[in-house]
Amino acid sequence: MLLLQQHLLLLLLHQAIAESFPSFGALIAAFERAKASGSRTPGLLLADLTEPEGAGKAKPRRVGPTMSKRLYDLLTCEDPDAIIEAAGEAD
């Protein structure tokens, strides 16, 4: 439900994330593994996820780098006073 509340995160993209990471724990663990592996861009983990097949689009939408980074910040930030900036539309 938290994902659906994020501005402009479409239902079909929410489904793509939920299919890849069935719990927030799994998603957060994946972000942490990406960071621990030395990845310079752990926040882009979700960027290339796309809508499921048959969504009725000629070109399926992607989560995209902006929304992926926003979700990374939201789920991994340890600063309770941090402001997570609004993201633009899905790419």
Torsion of CA 10, 14, 9, 3, to 10 degrees: 140
Distances (CA, A) of 90 to 6, 25, 35, 46, 52: 11, 23, 23, 11, 14
User: What confidence score (pLDDT) does residue 40 get?
Assistant: 87
State the pTM of this model.
Answer: 0.74
pLDDT at residue 23, as a whole number: 93
Q: How confident is the model at residue 25 (pLDDT cuts 50, 70, 90)?
A: very high
Two tokens, residue 11: 């239902």
Cβ-based burial of 9 (10 A; exposed 0-12, middle 13-18, buried ≥19):
buried
For the record, the structure tokens of 50 come out as: 């796309």
